[in-house]
Amino acid sequence: MTDAHDDTSGAPREYIAAIDQGTTSSRCIVFDRDGRVVSVEQKEHEQIFPKPGWVEHDATEIWTNVQEVVAGALAKARISKEQVKAIGITNQRETTLLWDRATGEPVHNAIVWQDTRTDALCRELGRNVGQDRFRRDTGLPLASYFAGPKIRWLLDNVEGLRERAERGEIMFGTMDSWVIWNLTGGTEGGVHVTDVTNASRTLLMSLRTLQWDEKICNSIGVPTALLPEIRSSAEVFGTARGGALDGVPVASALGDQQAALFGQTCFSVGEGKSTYGTGTFLLMNTGPKAINSYAGLVTTVGYRIGDQDPVYALEGSIAVTGALVQWMRDQMGLINSAAEIETLALSVDDNGGAYFVPAFSGLFAPYWRSDARGVISGLTRYVTKAHLARAVLEATAWQTREIVDAMKKDSGMELTTLKVDGGMTSNNLLMQNISDFLDVPVVRPMVSETTCLGAAYAAGLAVGFWNDVEDLRANWRRAAEWTPQMDAAERDREYQFWLKAVKRTMGWLDEES
């Protein structure tokens, strides 16, 4: 890694620290003025599964880990807290925690975004309207991911909690709020805030006013006394008290996917990024206008810098991308490591007529069909495991195409370039497939840690470490670019086959009772 002491000016060098409180681990990364990684420290936390479909985190463990990784990252960079000009926060989105205002003790484990315990509650909350009951105001469908129904579940199920909440003794927060409150002093004057991007994932915030919507809070059954103040994504919330960063301004908060959008410097309308991991999240900047989706996407706040106008985004997610490669490795045993999927796929020239639609738990955006299940179609005697490996990679690329098409339909905007990050970007064939199927260039930035970088950028802007977004753009470096090489007629023909395969997944399960 870079030596933190190789400066030529003589003045001590200055840095920004970013905390990424993620689903499986907490990390702290120290960045320099060029946006380069100086040091990284990471610690995993326990995943708690009390029942099938339930996922919880111990928020106390998480806070301890956050303090450790911050101290660790500073030590590894061999810098003092005086050299850290600001702290930025990014976090797993929607994960919900309630804690006691007076003692700082969580009243229950945090309920993680993946947790499905509020499925039935969400259906009930939809009443006769269904899952789009709050979509116009919040941009979101009523689904178990989002924080609002999780708060309601806790108030209904933890004894005496509703009364305590109504007396104002309880605080709610997503993990950004929990980390900021603790960093800024906790019970000793900690600030209770969240940012617009995290608030936009609760189902409780109006996308237009960027404030809590009292009517919706009432409908879902969440007393507003619980809720943190909604602030922008880049401003000084307070200063850290105690710990390794005592006295350093806490100056940004962004949900992880929005932070990646920011770190990829997608500051112009129509710029988008796609993060390829176990699943995939694609966000496109739609500017100062919140665009309603009729094509099954989610409308969300992209970011807001200080008192500038908010920037909205359309978001589409793909449930199964890297997970399909893992499935080929772990369940099918066709490869020994995830990277080998490319070797296997490259041993043939095409998919041999096979198409793989991994609707393992239904079809997500833009279809939203829970009755669908996975399908491999087009099988003949000719098809080998290598053709299936091709089909696996193509599935990720075609699903990306479907999200991009839906975004075009909703916004009328053409995506000109797709910026990519995440573990699967090391797969060259996949990146080429995406470029071919989208017919746009696909570019990978030089810093793969775009999530932390986004939080660092926002914090640095808030304290004047960087002047404006143009400064940040100037830091962005292209590490690789894939350009479309596929014949248009062939692309269209292949897409039709893919769409036919998708149709075959639908209606596999009988109507849910």
Partner 1 sequence: MARTIQSLERAAAVLRLLAGGERRLGLSDIASAIGLAKATTHGLLRTLQQEGFVEQDPSSGRYQLGAELLRLGNSYLDVHELRARALVWTDDLARSSGESAYVGVLHQQGVLIVHHVFRPDDSRQVLEVGAMQPLHSTALGKVLAAYDPVAHNEVMESDFAAITELTVTDPAEFERGLERVRARGWASDVGETWDGVASIAAPILDRRRMPVGAVGITGAEERMRSDGALSPRLIAAVRDCARSVSRDLGAGRF
Contact residues: partner 1, CB under 8 A: 1-2, 36-37, 336-343, 423, 425-428, 446-448, 477-482
How does DSSP classify residue 128?
Answer: T
- AA letter at 82: E
Q: Which is nearer to partner 1, 357 or 440 (CB)?
A: 440
Structure tokens at 131: 């899952």
Q: How far is the CB of 495 from partner 1 (least distance, A)?
A: 24
Which is nearest to 227 in space by CA: 206, 212, 215? 212
Q: Which is nearer to partner 1, 73 or 248 (CB)?
A: 73
In the complex, least distance from residue 453 CB atom to partner 1, rounded to whole angstroms = 12
Tell me how far, at minimum, the Cβ of 122 lies from partner 1, in Å: 38
Residue type, 420: V
376: phi > 0 → left, psi -120 to 50 → alpha, else beta; which?
A: beta
Residue 340 CB, nearest distance to partner 1 (Å)? 5
| C-alpha separations of 118 from 150, 152, 153, 485 in Å | 6, 9, 7, 45
Q: In angstroms, give the least distance from the CB of 162 to partner 1.
A: 48
Q: Which is nearer to partner 1, 65 or 432 (CB)?
A: 432
Q: How far is the CB of 344 from partner 1 (least distance, A)?
A: 9
Of 37 and 407, the one with the shorter C-beta distance to partner 1 is 37
Output the six-digit token pair for 304.
Answer: 């807001």
User: Which structure tokens are listed for 244?
Assistant: 């390794």
What tokens does 148 get? 């609002």
Contacts of 257 (CB under 8 A, 6+ apart): 93, 275, 281, 283, 315
Closest to partner 1 by CB, 59 or 341: 341
Closest CB 450 distance from partner 1, rounded Å: 12
Identify which of residues 208 and 477 has a Cβ nearer to partner 1 in the complex. Answer: 477
- Tell me how far apart the alpha carbons of residues 22 and 45 are, in angstroms, rounded to a whole number: 9
CB 265 within 8 A of CB 210: no
Smallest CA-to-CA distance from 96 within 73, 71, 121, 72 is with 121
Burial of residue 232 (CB within 10 Å: 0-12, 13-18, 19+) is buried
Structure tokens that stand for 155 in this block: 């108030």
Considering beta carbons, is residue 246 or 481 the nearer one to partner 1?
481
- Closest CB to partner 1 among 37 and 84? 37
Cβ distance to partner 1 smaller for residue 35 or 190: 35
Q: How far is the CB of 11 from partner 1 (least distance, A)?
A: 21
CB distance 121 to 228 below 8 Å: no
Beta bridge partners of 41: 28
What is the Cα–Cα distance from 278 to 324, expressed in whole angstroms?
Answer: 8
What is the Cα–Cα distance from 466 to 454, expressed in whole angstroms?
A: 13
